[in-house]
Amino acid sequence: MVEMNGKVLRDKKLTELKEKIGTLDCKLGLAVIQVGQDEASKVYVKQKEKLALELGYKFIHKVFDENVEQDKLIRYIKKLNKDDCIDGILVQMPLPNHLDSSLIQNTVDSYKDVDGLTFINAGRLVQGMPSLVPCTPKGIIDMLDYHQIGLEGANVVVIGRSILVGKPIATLLSNRNATVVLTHSKTKNLGEITKNADIIIAAVGKAGFVTADMVKDGAVVIDVGINRIDGKLYGDVDFPTVKDKCSYITPVPGGVGPMTVCELMNNVYEAHMLRKKAGK
């Protein structure tokens, strides 16, 4: 069994990114918008800020009160859309219930949509066209490629169908000619389905959800889950029992997680290049 170390690949990709940034004659800019004081969001924004500053990006962290009026938030995003020094805009999810997350997400200019969540980028992804791709799915594909895991014709089961992880990873894999089954909470006999998978991708949000009896011998298991229990992090896969059945597995922490923030920084660069190419 090979443990897929996300930190090693992240560092390799960051070195490549630094070389690309070094050829630019301007500073890249990332703006992160947070609404309210959600503790997990604060941790995620800190991680983004640390890496952005390390790469020499301009970094704006705008925090709105949790009761902010939707129009005020939209006006701020529109201002960032017009700001030539900002290449990427990210609205930290989840948003409070009084806000229309989809409307707010789609206010972000698709050329600055480094989360890849606008209708335009999601549609381009489905049509196999160049687009800004959500960071976690992109990180998963990079990990699979790095370990030279064949995707063409592979039977893949994705557990979870969120717009952030499950759906885009299923689309990316289908675009790469894998045969993909996208499962969710209403799926019947999930364990029977996963037992046929060459690759399982778990994005459920339930600690230890994937157990050894759901995994065939030699399968590749990618664990996206981040579940905090008593201050400790657990994945969606029951790592101690599943690892012995796999050919490859990602640990939590240290697997998919480190890739996500690195892919975000890469998306800021890609967004800059796409925008300049389009003359925007």
Angle at 13 between CA 277 and CA 240, to 5 degrees: 135
Cβ-proximal residues to 112 (8 Å cutoff; 6+ apart), any chain: 80, 81, 86, 87, 88, 89, 271, 275
184 binds ligand NAP per the rule CB under 6 A? yes
Catalytic residue among 13, 34, 48, 112: 48
- Residue 187 near ligand NAP by CB under 6 A: yes
Confirm or reject binding of residue 6 to ligand NAP (CB under 6 A): no
Shortest spacing between CB 235 and ligand NAP, in angstroms: 8
Q: Which stretch binds ligand NAP (CB under 6 A): 30-38, 56-64, 84-92, 183-191?
A: 183-191
Q: Does 77 bind ligand NAP (CB under 6 A)?
A: no
Other beta carbons within 10 angstroms of residue 68's beta carbon come to 18
- Contact positions with ligand NAP (CB under 6 A) in 223-262: 224-227, 256-257, 260
Contact pattern from residue 103 through residue 142 relative to ligand NAP, giving x for each residue in contact according to CB under 6 A and a dash for the rest = ---------------------------------x------
* Amino acid at position 38, single letter: D
Is residue 198 annotated as a catalytic residue, yes or no? no
Give the shortest CB-270-to-ligand NAP separation in angstroms: 18
- How many degrees, rounded to 5, is the angle at CA 182 between CA 149 and CA 90? 85
Residue with tokens 């925090």: 63
Give the separation between CA 240 and CA 202, rounded to whole angstroms. 16
Is residue 82 part of the annotated active site? The answer reads no
Q: How far is the CB of 276 from ligand NAP (least distance, A)?
A: 28
Measured from the CB atom, the residue of 114 and 203 that comes closer to ligand NAP is 203
Closest to 180 in 3D by CA, of 206, 209, 210, 151:
151
Q: Which amino acid is at 71?
A: D
Q: How many CB atoms lie within 10 A of CB 92?
A: 20
Nearest to 223 by CA among 15, 48, 27, 6: 6
Catalytic residue flag (residue 127): no
Interface region with ligand NAP, contact rule CB under 6 A, candidates 27-35, 120-128, 222-230, 242-250: 222-230
- Please check whether residue 182 is in contact with residue 167, taking contact to mean a CB–CB distance below 8 angstroms: yes
Q: Are 139 and 263 in contact (CB under 8 A)?
A: yes
Does 162 engage in binding with ligand NAP (CB under 6 A)? Answer: yes
Question: Binders of ligand NAP: how many residues, by CB under 6 A?
Answer: 24
Helix (H, G, I), strand (E, B) or coil at 235: coil
Q: Write down the least CB distance from residue 164 to ligand NAP, Å.
A: 5
Catalytic residue among 13, 34, 87, 92: 92
Interacting residues with ligand NAP (CB under 6 A): 136, 159-162, 164-166, 183-187, 190, 203-205, 224-227, 256-257, 260
Positions marked active-site: 48, 92, 115
